[in-house]
């Protein structure tokens, strides 16, 4: 996995709560058997005025001028500023894949849905929870100042504004460790292969029905 230590980038404010994973990447694009190439269809139904189809050249499609990511001032944004319960709905990892493929590295919101939050870490994408009033302030600043950028430091667990104001955030130690070092967490788990085998052996004795292959 790609490591994440520090990042500075343009902030795109998406002022809408309960953004669901169907919105992030609609189902017709989940038919791909790859992990890449979802970027052009990120937020497809909000971003374009027509109905998106898989394997289509999106450069010719009519854009929705009102959608935040279509506005020139947010071009090249890599920090998504969002509202509460971002990423609710399905477990599709295609949602973080699409955000990553588009170029986002950080998502900041007052709260995230559990499965989406977890999926981000598996893909080198950093979801950051900040208090509602801080997110409100960042929205105001991002909308007011063209080219507004934030600096994120995972080592120090801080988000810093252009004026130097700094906010700290919480993140699980294990997730942070994996992200900072770009670790493959399957490899980390397999270091405990003996423990897993011991557990399994014990369960085979005490709960043999769990190992029944059916008939």
Partner 1 sequence: MAGKTLYDKLWDDHLVKQRDDGSALIYIDRQLLHEVTSPQAFEGLRLAGRKPWRIDANIATPDHNVPTTDRDKGIDGIVDPVSRTQVETLDKNCDEFGILEFKIKDQRQGIVHVIGPEQGATLPGMSIVCGDSHTSTHGAFGCLAHGIGTSEVEHVLATQCLVQKKMKNMLVKVNGKLGPGVTGKDVVLAIIGKIGTAGGTGYAIEFGGEAIRGLSMEGRMTICNMSIEAGARVGMVAVDDTTIDYVKGRPFAPKGETWDKAVDYWRTLHSDDDAVFDKVVELDGSAIMPQVSWGTSPEMVTGVDGAVPDPAREEDPIKREGIVRALKYMGLQPNQKITDIQLDRVFIGSCTNSRIEDLREAAAVVKGRKVSPSLKQAMVVPGSGLVKAQAEQEGLDKIFIEAGLEWRDPGCSMCLAMNADKLGQGEHCASTSNRNFEGRQGFGGRTHLVSPGMAAAAAVTGHFVDVRELMH
Q: Which residues bind partner 1 (CB under 8 A)?
A: 16-18, 20, 22-23, 26-28, 30-35, 45, 51-52, 54-55, 83-85, 88-93, 96, 111, 113-115, 118-119, 122-123, 172-175, 177, 184-186, 188-190, 192-193, 195-196, 199-200, 203, 207-215
Give the nearer residue to partner 1 in terms of CB position, either 78 or 123.
Answer: 123
Name which of 125, 115, 145 is nearest 13 in CA terms.
145
Shortest approach of partner 1 to residue 167 CB, angstroms?
Answer: 21
Shortest approach of partner 1 to residue 8 CB, angstroms?
Answer: 26
What does the alpha-carbon distance between residue 120 and residue 128 come to, in Å, rounded to a whole number? 10
What does the alpha-carbon distance between residue 206 and residue 182 come to, in Å, rounded to a whole number? 38
Shortest approach of partner 1 to residue 62 CB, angstroms?
Answer: 14
- Strand-pairing partners, residue 153, are 6, 158
Shortest approach of partner 1 to residue 91 CB, angstroms?
Answer: 4
Give the nearer residue to partner 1 in terms of CB position, either 10 or 38.
Answer: 38
38 phi and psi angles, rounded to 5 deg: -90, -10
Give the nearer residue to partner 1 in terms of CB position, either 33 or 57.
Answer: 33
For the beta carbon of residue 47, count every other beta carbon within 10 angstroms.
Answer: 19
Shortest approach of partner 1 to residue 56 CB, angstroms?
Answer: 12
Apex CA 159: angle with CA 155 and CA 162, to 5°?
130
Q: At what angle do helices 114-121 and 173-181 cross, to 10 degrees?
A: 30
Give the nearer residue to partner 1 in terms of CB position, either 50 or 165.
Answer: 50
Is the CB of residue 11 less than 8 Å from the CB of residue 106?
no
Give the nearer residue to partner 1 in terms of CB position, either 89 or 162.
Answer: 89
User: At a CB cut-off of 8 Å and minimum separation 6, what does 41 contact?
Assistant: 25, 26, 29, 52, 58, 98
């Amino acid at each position: 996995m790609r490591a994440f230590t520090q990042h500075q980038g343009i902030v795109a404010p998406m002022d809408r709560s309960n953004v669901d994973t169907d919105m992030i990447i609609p189902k017709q694009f989940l038919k791909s058997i790859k992990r890449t190439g979802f970027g052009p269809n990120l937020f497809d139904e909000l971003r374009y005025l027509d109905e998106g189809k898989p394997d289509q050249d999106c450069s010719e499609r009519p854009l929705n001028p009102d959608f935040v990511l279509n506005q020139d001032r947010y071009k090249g944004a890599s920090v998504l500023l969002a509202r509460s319960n971002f990423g609710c709905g399905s477990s599709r990892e295609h949602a973080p894949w699409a955000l990553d493929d588009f170029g986002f590295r950080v998502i900041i919101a007052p709260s995230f849905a559990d499965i989406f939050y977890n999926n981000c870490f598996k893909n080198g994408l950093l979801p950051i929870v900040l208090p509602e009033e801080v997110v409100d302030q960042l929205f105001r600043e991002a909308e007011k100042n063209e080219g507004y950028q934030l600096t994120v430091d995972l080592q120090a667990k801080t988000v810093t504004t252009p004026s130097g104001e700094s906010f700290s955030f919480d993140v699980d130690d294990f997730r942070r460790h994996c992200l900072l070092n770009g670790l493959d967490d399957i490899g980390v788990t397999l270091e405990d292969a003996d423990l897993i085998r011991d557990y399994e052996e014990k369960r085979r004795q005490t709960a043999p029905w769990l190992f029944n292959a059916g008939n």
